[in-house]
Amino acid sequence: MNPHVFLPALVLTLLCAGSTNVRAATISVTNAADSGAGSLRAALASATNGDTIDATGVFGAIILTSGELLITNNLNINGSGPANLAVNGNFPNTTNRVFNINNSTVSISGLTITNGHSGDNSGGGGIIIVASTMTVSNCAVSGNSGGGASSCKLANCIAYFNARANYDPSCTLDHCCTTPLPTNGVGNISSDPQLASASHLSALSPCIGKGSYASVSGNDIDGEPWANPPSIGCDEYHPGAVTGPLTVSLTATYTTVLTGFTVQLTALIKGRTTASVWDFGDGIRATNQPYTPHAWAALGDYAVVLRAYNESQPGGISATATVHVIARPVHYVAAASATPGLRADWPLR
């Protein structure tokens, strides 16, 4: 063998192997902060093509206070499960999408993608992609405004409760629960998912047993084995094992409103859950709706109660918020005044 040929070839091989190892790094997310060291935003900024972003050790909600998450590299992003980790677009405090995928190939699994806004209602308040390929699996895309997902592939996901549209016609969905029933993809259902919480299926959920085993790996969000066929989403429902502590709270977009004004209510439930019930204080109830709108027809103060149940808590754990429904205020001005405009310190009558 000619040594002058062998040596450069060996050096080239070693260089290529070294550069591949550098590119294929795993970057860990260590906190739920919007930015700074250990955040998802910082991990995305430092990543290069082929890297994996590991957020499996982070729990809670990443509230985006400094804009959308822009991805311009080929990446895999793994979360700790939609029940455990949400990436929250922070609407109405900000008006931005959650993920913007640009000129890249990306896969995301194990997240709740929520509370994003497209800004101009052009679609994809949760996810939008531009000249890219994206696969979203075992995620919940819910509670977004201006649309849920745009131009991506969803597998074994629940895409529901998004304002304007859950997905756009450029999406492909396989074994997902969404509405309307997609024309692109297989194994989808359009029935209300009957979610006991934003991530856990209720005992009545039509998603049970309707997923694809090819789209799941390991265990579900509670560390329990997947059935075959599995459920759609991130949670496998195991009767007799829906036990443990529950933490319940709720949010309302407004707590002082006029009659007929719609308030968006969000259930925040942690733990295995069999069912949840809203009582709006006006004789109307809703069951298994983690995101629900409601308007009140009469004046008054209404105690809105959210109650969650499981096999350890048959009586339920509840949270309450008060919504004040008031009459339209009337301001009086002096018509003869040279400056008859309203003053901020004038009382309402």
pLDDT tens digits, 173-189: 999 999 999 998 999 99
Separation of alpha carbons 18 and 253, rounded Å = 52
pLDDT at 227 over 70: yes
pLDDT at 1 over 70: no
Q: What is the CA radius of gyration of the chain?
A: 24
Separation of alpha carbons 318 and 322, rounded Å = 14
| Confidence at residue 23, expressed as pLDDT on a 0 to 100 scale | 56
| Confidence at residue 121, expressed as pLDDT on a 0 to 100 scale | 66
What share of the chain has pLDDT > 70, as a percent?
87
pLDDT at 7 over 90: no
Residues 6+ apart with CB under 8 A from 8: none
Max mean pLDDT range (12-16, 83-87, 134-138, 208-212) = 208-212
* Higher-scoring residue by pLDDT: 325, 129: 325
CB of 233 within 8 A of CB of 215?
Answer: no
| Confidence at residue 341, expressed as pLDDT on a 0 to 100 scale | 64
Comparing 96-105, 112-121, 142-151, the range with the smallest average pLDDT is 112-121
**What's the CATH number for 247-326?**
2.60.40.10
Average pLDDT score, the chain = 87
| Confidence at residue 6, expressed as pLDDT on a 0 to 100 scale | 40
Comparing 44-58, 80-94, 265-279, the range with the smallest average pLDDT is 80-94
Q: Where are the domains of the chain?
A: 23-215, 247-326
- Return the number of other C-beta atoms located less than 10 Å from residue 262's C-beta: 12
- The predicted-structure confidence for 299-343, as pLDDT tens digits, reads as follows 999 999 999 999 999 999 999 999 999 998 776 666 677 776 655
- The predicted-structure confidence for 240-282, as pLDDT tens digits, reads as follows 999 999 999 999 999 999 999 999 999 989 888 999 999 999 9
* Higher-scoring residue by pLDDT: 281, 134: 281
Mean pLDDT of 74-96: 84
Beta strands in 60-186 (DSSP E): 60-63, 69-71, 75-79, 85-88, 99-102, 105-109, 112-114, 127-130, 133-137, 140-142, 153-155, 158-160, 172-174, 177-178
Give Cα separations from 27 to 44, 53, 75, 127 (angstroms).
9, 5, 11, 22
84: which 2 tokens?
Answer: 């455990």
* 215 phi, psi to nearest 5 deg: -100, 0
- The predicted-structure confidence for 149-161, as pLDDT tens digits, reads as follows 988 999 999 999 9
| Band of residue 60 on the pLDDT scale cut at 50, 70, 90 | confident
In the block, tokens 């004789």 appear at 283
